[in-house]
């Protein structure tokens, strides 16, 4: 058993694991099984793929249509069934085609999580257009960059985003058509989306329609998701239909594997309700979430803005089974003083990614909610899931992000990218599989640097254990070097998270005249809790080498600043130590 598993008090069930991961893979991927694999040529490279994954997103949409009167999205008082959603998709797709959108044209999508989002997304990709989900947190200037860089021909957005973009209209001359939703009056230089498909509660009254004809191959272009852009200009990761469809089976495979490890048969698919708090313009919510939801017929509950108490109300009212996002959200659900005022017994799983999580969080999810924790590792360039970690395996290795799913491979490489490192050594994580995107939109040099013979160089520092479980040590650029000693920020952050008062933490390097840099921490304390700088420094000193102890600790009233992918904006934290 992992030492950290002991530390968080995990007691494995009797006879667990009932199967090794190798045995699980052999059973689940055998010929004729749901997770059977086959080899196909992708860009000249022979690649393992799920044999039974949908071939394209048109087929995903058709699977969603088959769920009929099952609720698809819930947003405030708007409740949209799968049948109503598909009627809106078919109507909007026909309108896109009538406005001259052809296969390969870019359709940009910029809005918060609303019922219109999955309508616009599928209306674009089912006619062969490339959907460009833009970061709804971006400024008008940044949104203008995304429109210009992608060469978008058509845009669907909400009024808040259009208010930001409209002043920059001259900067994206290729844009021909703009549909704006939730606008009180006629938008200047645009049309109201409701004139075409109505409001969400009206979708059910739209005439039944079919999707416009279009032949789409698995490796045809489907999406451009922009990287988080914490440094430099964002790069557009060009994804394919196969990339997005891969995640549908990857999620199911992980759940089936967890059951076999427990000595149970993989469960039959059951329709569930999920509270979606990650923005859909992020690959985690869109690729790893939305795609599987549509095929399975799950219900997505949206929030206007994250608020723990509102989340409690929705979980109780809608009998939510699944939620998650980034670790901070899970911590807030656990530590909020009003949690005990709500019936949260429907919760079965809380999963997250996008940021390192403290091992203590894994235990707390299981202890407080009786829910199974889950996390995984992926990035925009892998269209989300490469590794997946859940249930007892996660409790047993709470500092790991899990093993790669069966169609993925990972390896640890030396800094120069020439030597594969042995088990246990920290180096750069490389990944490959049918989830890896084609490259960066109109960025051939950046593509050549990052994508090598089917592998993506992730920029993450990691190690693998004997069973193939992956442990992220740090982002390469987040490693602090103090007088020649490497400090992996996630290691120190995990120790800070273990302190009962700390609910959010980040470690950065601050300049030092002789040592180069020293570690400093920024922390947010749980409501009603207190801790001093001296106390937290002593806490770390008791658990880690002295050179890893933060020389300074700054406290913030709110949780730490993050980009839309959930990653802490460490470049914004240096100001605390200026």
Q: What is the bridge-based pairing of β-strands 470-475 and 480-482?
A: unpaired
Q: What is the spatial distance between Cα 204 and Cα 131, in angstroms, rounded to a whole number?
A: 24
Can you state the angle between helices 327-335 and 308-318, rounded to 10 degrees? 80
Phi/psi at 505 (5° precision): -155, 150
State the pLDDT at residue 355.
57
Q: Are residues 195 and 248 in the same domain?
A: no
Structure-token pair, residue 361: 């969080």
**CATH number where 116 lies:** 3.40.50.12780
In a domain, 280, yes or no: yes
pTM: 0.87
Q: Please tell me the number of Cα atoms within 13 Å of 385 on its side-chain side.
A: 32
Q: Look at residues 432, 450, 475 and tell me which one is the last residue of a structural domain.
A: 475
Q: Are residues 349 and 462 in the same domain?
A: yes
CB-CB contact of 24 with 260 (8 Å): yes
Where on the phi/psi map is residue 416: left (φ > 0), alpha (ψ -120 to 50), or beta?
alpha
Q: Are residues 193 and 265 in the same domain?
A: no
- As for how many domains the chain has, the answer is 3
User: CA distances (Å), 327 to each of 342, 384, 476, in order?
Assistant: 21, 16, 21
Q: Are residues 439 and 356 in the same domain?
A: yes
pLDDT digits over 42-97, tens only? 999 999 999 999 999 999 999 999 999 999 999 999 999 999 999 999 999 999 99
In a domain, 77, yes or no: no
In a domain, 195, yes or no: yes
Domain span holding position 87: 57-67+82-216
State the pLDDT at residue 54.
98
Q: Are residues 61 and 210 in the same domain?
A: yes
Q: Look at residues 449, 475, 501 and tell me which one is the last residue of a structural domain.
A: 475
Q: Are residues 199 and 285 in the same domain?
A: no
In a domain, 181, yes or no: yes
Where do the H-state alpha helices sit in 336-416? Answer: 359-364, 391-396
**CATH number where 567 lies:** 3.30.300.30
Q: Are residues 460 and 332 in the same domain?
A: yes
In a domain, 567, yes or no: yes
State the pLDDT at residue 232.
57
E strand or H helix at 459, and its extent? strand 455-464
pLDDT digits over 389-425, tens only? 999 999 999 989 999 999 999 999 998 999 999 999 9
Q: Are residues 417 and 294 in the same domain?
A: yes
Which residue ranges in the chain fall short of pLDDT 50? Answer: 229-231
Q: Are residues 510 and 568 in the same domain?
A: yes
Structure-token pair, residue 51: 């044999």
In a domain, 226, yes or no: no
Q: Are residues 140 and 153 in the same domain?
A: yes
What is the per-residue DSSP string for 490-505? HHHHHHHHHSTTEEEE
CB-CB contact of 508 with 474 (8 Å): no
In a domain, 133, yes or no: yes
Q: Are residues 344 and 252 in the same domain?
A: yes
In a domain, 233, yes or no: no
Q: Are residues 332 and 428 in the same domain?
A: yes
- At a CB cut-off of 8 Å and minimum separation 6, what does 251 contact? 288, 292, 385, 388
- At a CB cut-off of 8 Å and minimum separation 6, what does 361 contact? 327, 330, 331, 334, 373, 497
């Amino acid at each position: 058993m992992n030492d950290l598993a002991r530390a968080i008090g995990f007691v494995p069930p009797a006879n667990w694991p009932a199967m090794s991961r190798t045995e699980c893979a052999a059973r689940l991927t055998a010929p004729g099984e749901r997770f059977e694999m086959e080899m196909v040529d992708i860009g000249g490279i022979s690649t393992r793929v799920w044999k039974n994954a949908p071939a394209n997103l048109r087929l995903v949409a058709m699977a969603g249509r088959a769920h009929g009167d099952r609720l698809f999205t819930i947003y405030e008082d708007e409740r949209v069934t799968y049948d109503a959603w598909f009627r809106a998709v078919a109507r909007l797709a026909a309108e896109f085609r009538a406005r001259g959108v052809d296969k390969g044209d870019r359709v940009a999508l910029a809005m918060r999580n609303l019922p219109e989002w999955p309508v616009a997304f599928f209306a674009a990709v089912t006619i062969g257009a490339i959907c460009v989900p833009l970061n709804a947190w971006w400024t008008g200037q940044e949104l203008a960059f995304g429109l210009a860089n992608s060469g978008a021909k058509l845009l669907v957005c909400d009024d808040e985003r259009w208010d930001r973009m409209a002043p920059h209209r001259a900067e994206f001359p290729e844009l021909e058509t703009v549909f704006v939703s939730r606008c009180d009056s006629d938008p200047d230089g645009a049309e109201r989306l409701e004139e075409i498909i109505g409001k969400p509660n009206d979708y059910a009254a739209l005439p039944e329609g079919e999707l416009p004809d279009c032949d789409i191959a698995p490796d045809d272009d489907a999406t451009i998701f922009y990287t988080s852009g914490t440094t430099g200009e964002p790069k557009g990761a060009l994804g394919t239909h196969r990339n997005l469809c891969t995640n549908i089976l990857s999620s199911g495979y992980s759940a089936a594997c967890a059951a076999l490890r427990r000595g149970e048969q993989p469960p039959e698919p059951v329709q569930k309700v999920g509270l979606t708090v990650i923005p859909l313009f992020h690959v985690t919510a869109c690729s790893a979430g939305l795609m599987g939801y549509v095929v399975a017929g799950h219900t997505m509950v949206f929030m206007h803005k994250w608020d723990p108490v509102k989340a409690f109300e929705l979980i109780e009212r809608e009998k939510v089974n699944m939620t998650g996002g980034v670790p901070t959200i899970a911590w807030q659900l656990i530590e909020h003083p009003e949690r005990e005022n709500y019936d949260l017994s429907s919760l079965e799983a809380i999963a997250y990614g996008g940021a390192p999580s403290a091992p203590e969080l894994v235990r707390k999810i299981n202890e407080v909610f009786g829910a199974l924790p889950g996390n995984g590792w992926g990035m925009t360039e892998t269209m989300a899931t490469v590794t997946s970690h859940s249930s007892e395996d996660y409790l047993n290795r709470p500092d790991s992000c899990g093993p790669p799913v069966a169609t993925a491979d990972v390896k640890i490489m030396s800094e120069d990218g020439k030597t594969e490192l042995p088990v246990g050594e920290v180096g750069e994580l490389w990944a490959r599989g049918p989830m890896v995107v084609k490259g960066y939109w109109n960025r051939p040099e950046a593509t050549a640097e990052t994508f090598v013979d089917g592998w993506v160089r992730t920029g993450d520092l990691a190690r693998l254990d004997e069973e193939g479980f992956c442990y992220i040590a740090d982002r390469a650029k987040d490693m602090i070097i103090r007088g020649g000693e490497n400090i992996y920020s996630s290691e120190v952050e995990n120790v800070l998270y273990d302190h009962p008062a700390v609910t959010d933490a980040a470690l950065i390097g601050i300049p030092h005249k002789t040592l180069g840099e020293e570690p400093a921490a920024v922390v947010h304390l749980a409501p009603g809790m207190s801790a001093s700088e001296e106390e937290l420094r002593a806490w770390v000193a008791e658990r880690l080498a002295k050179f890893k102890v933060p020389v300074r600790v700054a406290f913030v009233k709110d949780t730490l600043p993050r980009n839309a992918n959930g990653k802490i904006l460490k470049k914004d934290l240096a100001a605390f130590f200026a």
